[in-house]
């Protein structure tokens, strides 16, 4: 079953254009939504949450159109903007007592289990929580109202390596029984290498690729060669960097002749992102 | 919508702003004062501070992530504004009754706090709502220009009406002279004021719902 289906989203702003954004997230999986700052991750997430009006396109959550069934579907979505804090001077229990009234399937027992598990003190103010604890509090809220789809906008930004690792482990635990799906945006590719099943890569408002993680990385090659080899390949490279030994560049596997003598390796997600960002610079 | 009103009252609005009407209401005990000013404090102090708090706490995005309709978000916020306005005016009216007891022989230079005067006050609140609410919902977070425009309009209104009350003998007689003893006239003016307040507030709410519905957050 498809947990989230994004179809041909288009939205024009003054200085930015979301162009034909499409991808699907299957139930019970984690999808990493990657892209540089300003690539369109948050705008896409806002479209999913029906916070912006699309010029065209559709979003379906658990098979239903978000525009037509917004209130029902928001009961099933757990949502967290990593970088934004709400009512930070309020205590956890004050905030929870207000929030839980909005959800039909709220379960106090589940909530208190998560508070214990995440070592969250109800009497603490939001401001007194570390970044990692804030994300855990958000997860506790989402899971206590029975959310089937978690949409997390940069939940790992600002976390120390240990907190990040713990959070990624929690994400993996949550999807184990196949009921919960997670879409989380990040510009930190190491998060995704650890826990994502699928990768959707957005660049300058356009989806570059959306596929299974290994397949995604395997569809590119990082090439190292000399200047004369660069001249033969230049047109087919996504972008390249010159160095004292020659060049390093990224190419789509379909554009690369694997029988050639150029040294080719499978790039990391970070390298793919960097070379796509460099492509933008080359055309500016 | 009920949950949204409770959310605003529990999270968004500092309890101080619910206590303020009692404190400001005591200004009604100042003898022979310009009593329009009592309600102006709500516009000058409560409104900017409350809306600054909503903005600072990212209330808009917070609320948008929950299962609530945009229409209910506007209706709840307008309800909260009306609750605060009614709190201010009703408490001021009660203090106004004490004013008559305290100073029974007072000759009022400005409007005395008879029922007709409170009708004029309801019209002032109506003017505030019809300007502030639709202007605020152009963005749903910027409140500065909406507050400036609406407060300026209420100042112009009360200055003009008060000036008429001093300069025009008919208006003076209606509110401070013989008309003040005419209970049916006073009640009629109060009811007309309440009707104008209700109509303007409902109109403001429906314009705001349309504007907010079109907004990208």
CB A192 within 8 A of CB A31: no
What is the distance of C-alpha A283 from the center of its chain? 26
| Shortest Cα distance, chain A CAs vs residue B172, angstroms | 49
- Count how many domains chain B has: 1
Of the two residues B180 and A43, the one the predictor is more confident about is A43
Q: CB distance from B3 to chain A under 8 Å?
A: yes
**List of residues 6+ apart from B213 with CB closer than 8 A:** B70, B71
For residue A91, which of A53, A127, A63, A45 has the smallest C-alpha distance? A127
Q: Write down the mean pLDDT value for chain B.
A: 94
The Cα-based distances of B197 to A75, B29, B78, B86, B119 in angstroms read 36, 25, 13, 11, 9
Share of chain B above pLDDT 70, in %: 100
DSSP string, B152-197: HHHHHHHHHHHHHHHH-HHHHHHHTSGGGG-HHHHHHHHHHHHHHH
CB A192 within 8 A of CB A201: no
Instruction: List CB contacts (< 8 A) between B62 and chain A.
Output: 86-87
Q: CB distance from B26 to chain A under 8 Å?
A: no
| Shortest Cα distance, chain B CAs vs residue A180, angstroms | 18
DSSP A268: P
Say if strands A263-265 and A220-225 run parallel, antiparallel, or are unpaired.
antiparallel
Mean pLDDT of B49-64: 93
- pLDDT given for residue A284 in this prediction: 47
Contact A102 B11 (CB under 8 A): no
Question: In chain A, how many H helices and how many E strands?
Answer: 10, 14
- pLDDT given for residue A131 in this prediction: 82
Which sequence spans correspond to the domains of chain A?
2-210, 219-283
- pLDDT given for residue A69 in this prediction: 94
What does the angle CA A211 – CA A214 – CA A219 come to, to the nearest 5 degrees? Answer: 70
Say if strands A30-34 and A181-186 run parallel, antiparallel, or are unpaired.
parallel
Contact B57 A86 (CB under 8 A): yes
- pLDDT given for residue A84 in this prediction: 58
Read off φ and ψ for residue A26, nearest 5 degrees.
-80, 150
Instruction: List CB contacts (< 8 A) between B59 and chain A.
Output: 86-87
Q: Which class in CATH covers the domain with range A2-210?
A: alpha beta
- The residue whose two tokens read 């009216």 is B93
Ramachandran sector of residue A93 (left: φ over 0; alpha: ψ -120 to 50; beta: rest)? alpha
CA–CA gap between residue B205 and residue B203 (Å, rounded): 5
Q: CB distance from B67 to chain A under 8 Å?
A: yes
- Residue of A86, A93, A104 to mutate, interface with B, max B Cβ within 10 Å: A86
Which range of residues forms the domain containing residue B13?
A: 2-214
Asked whether the predicted pLDDT for residue B187 surpasses 80, the reply is yes
Q: Could you say which of A72, A74, A85 has the minimum Cβ distance to residue B66?
A: A74
The model's pLDDT over B78-133, given as tens digits with 9 standing for 90+, comes to 999 999 999 999 999 999 999 999 998 888 889 999 999 999 999 999 999 999 99
- pLDDT given for residue A82 in this prediction: 65
User: What ipTM, to 2 d.p.?
Assistant: 0.85
pLDDT per residue as tens, chain A (284 positions): 899 999 999 999 988 999 999 999 999 999 999 988 888 998 999 999 999 999 999 999 999 999 999 999 999 999 887 655 789 889 999 999 999 999 999 999 999 998 998 889 999 999 898 888 888 888 889 889 989 999 988 888 777 888 888 888 888 888 998 889 999 888 778 888 888 899 999 988 999 989 999 899 999 999 988 888 888 888 888 989 888 888 899 999 888 887 788 888 999 888 888 888 887 665 54
Instruction: List CB contacts (< 8 A) between A89 and chain B.
Output: 57
């Amino acid at each position: 079953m498809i947990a989230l289906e994004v179809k041909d989203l288009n939205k024009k702003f003054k200085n930015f254009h979301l162009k034909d954004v499409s991808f699907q997230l299957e139930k019970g999986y984690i999808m990493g939504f990657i892209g540089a700052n300003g690539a369109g991750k948050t705008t896409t997430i806002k479209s999913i949450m029906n916070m912006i009006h699309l010029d065209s396109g559709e979003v379906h959550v658990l098979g239903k159109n978000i525009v037509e069934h917004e209130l029902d579907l928001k009961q099933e979505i757990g949502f967290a903007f990593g970088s934004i804090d709400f009512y930070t001077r309020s205590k956890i229990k004050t905030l929870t007592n207000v929030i839980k009234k909005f959800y039909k399937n709220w379960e106090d027992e589940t909530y208190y289990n998560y508070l214990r598990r995440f070592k969250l003190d109800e009497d603490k103010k939001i401001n007194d929580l570390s970044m990692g604890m804030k994300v855990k509090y958000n997860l506790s809220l989402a899971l206590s109202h029975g959310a089937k789809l978690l949409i997390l906008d940069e939940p790992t930004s600002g976390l120390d390596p240990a907190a990040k690792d713990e959070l990624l482990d929690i994400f993996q635990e949550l999807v184990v029984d196949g009921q919960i799906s997670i879409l989380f945006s990040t510009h930190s590719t190491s998060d995704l290498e650890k826990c994502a099943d699928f990768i959707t890569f957005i660049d300058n408002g356009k989806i570059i690729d959306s596929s299974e993680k290994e397949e995604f990385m395997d569809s590119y090659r990082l090439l190292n060669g000399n200047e004369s080899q660069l001249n033969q390949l230049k047109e087919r490279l996504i972008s390249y960097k010159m160095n004292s030994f020659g060049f390093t560049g990224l190419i789509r596997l379909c554009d690369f002749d694997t029988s050639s003598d150029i040294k080719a390796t499978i790039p990391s997600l970070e390298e793919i992102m960097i070379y796509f960002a460099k492509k933008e610079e080359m055309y500016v | 919508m009920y949950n949204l009103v409770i959310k605003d009252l529990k999270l968004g609005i500092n309890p101080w702003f619910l206590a303020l009407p009692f404190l400001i209401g005591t200004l009604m005990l100042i003898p022979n004062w310009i009593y329009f000013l009592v309600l102006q404090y709500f516009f000058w102090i409560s409104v900017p501070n409350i809306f600054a708090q909503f903005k600072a706490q990212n209330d808009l995005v917070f609320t948008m992530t929950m299962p609530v309709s945009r229409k209910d978000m506007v209706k709840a916020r307008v309800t909260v504004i009306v609750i605060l306005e009614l709190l201010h005016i009703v408490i001021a009216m009660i203090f106004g009754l004490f004013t008559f007891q305290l100073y029974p022989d007072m000759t009022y230079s400005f409007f005395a706090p008879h029922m007709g005067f409170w009708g004029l006050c309801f019209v002032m609140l109506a003017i505030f709502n019809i300007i502030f609410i639709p202007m605020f919902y152009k963005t749903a977070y910027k409140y500065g220009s909406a507050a400036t425009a609406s407060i300026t309009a209420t100042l112009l209104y009360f200055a003009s009406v008060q000036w008429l009350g001093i300069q025009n003998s008919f208006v003076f007689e209606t509110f401070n002279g013989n008309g003040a003893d005419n209970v049916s006239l006073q009640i009629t003016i109060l009811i007309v004021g309440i009707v104008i307040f209700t109509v303007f507030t409902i109109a403001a709410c429906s314009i705001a719902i349309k504007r907010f519905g079109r907004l990208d957050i």
